């Protein structure tokens, strides 16, 4: 898959590329209360300020806030896997899958340091058979 195709196929609209072709998560930061969110909006759900949200690049590191080990999922999705909520360094909270660690509670601890990685969406394809880039977390 060429870099040209990668630009066209990302799993979420907040996955962006910088000038050096590195992927990152783009959020919206409130100028009033400094809360950070991933999805598009015009009003801050934290302080209710209108039109005070500006794009910001989220950190590529964070700490595990919460997790769930998923044992039942949709057909074609390998289980078990770890669904994680991560507090990003510098602000923002992101939900994503935790990879490259055995999905057993003994391997996981709250506040464990994680890094953001971007890769093919674990072999999954869209309806037309195209691969797409997604984001995941892995232990540092």
- Residue 130's Cβ-count burial label (10 Å; 0-12, 13-18, 19+) is exposed
Cβ partners under 8 Å of residue 123, min gap 6: 131
The full set of domain ranges for the chain reads 1-58, 60-125
Question: What is the per-residue pLDDT across 13-46, written as a single tens digit (0 to 9) for each?
Answer: 999 999 998 999 999 999 999 999 998 899 999 9
pLDDT, one tens digit per residue, over 65-124 is 999 999 999 887 889 999 999 999 999 999 999 999 999 999 999 999 999 999 987 666
The pTM (predicted TM-score) of the whole model is: 0.85
By CB neighbour count within 10 A (0-12 exposed, 13-18 middle, 19+ buried), where does 32 fall? middle
What pLDDT sits at residue 123? 67
Residue 129 has pLDDT above 80, yes or no: no
Structure confidence at residue 24 (pLDDT) = 96
Rg (CA), the chain: 16
What does the pLDDT read at residue 7?
Answer: 42
pLDDT at 2 over 60: no
pLDDT at 122: 62
């Amino acid at each position: 898959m060429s870099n040209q195709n990668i630009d066209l196929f990302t799993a979420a609209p907040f996955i962006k590329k910088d000038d050096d072709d590195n992927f990152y998560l783009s959020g919206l930061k409130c100028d009033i209360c400094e809360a950070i969110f991933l999805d598009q909006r015009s009003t801050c759900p934290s302080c209710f300020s209108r039109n005070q949200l500006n794009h910001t690049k989220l950190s590529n590191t964070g700490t595990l806030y919460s997790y769930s080990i998923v044992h039942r999922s949709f057909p074609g999705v390998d289980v078990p896997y770890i669904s994680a909520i991560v507090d990003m360094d510098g602000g923002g909270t992101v939900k994503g899958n935790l990879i490259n660690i055995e999905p057993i509670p003994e391997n996981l601890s709250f506040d464990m340091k994680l890094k953001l990685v971007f890769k093919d969406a674990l072999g999954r394809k869209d309806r037309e058979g195209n691969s797409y880039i997604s984001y995941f977390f892995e232990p540092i």
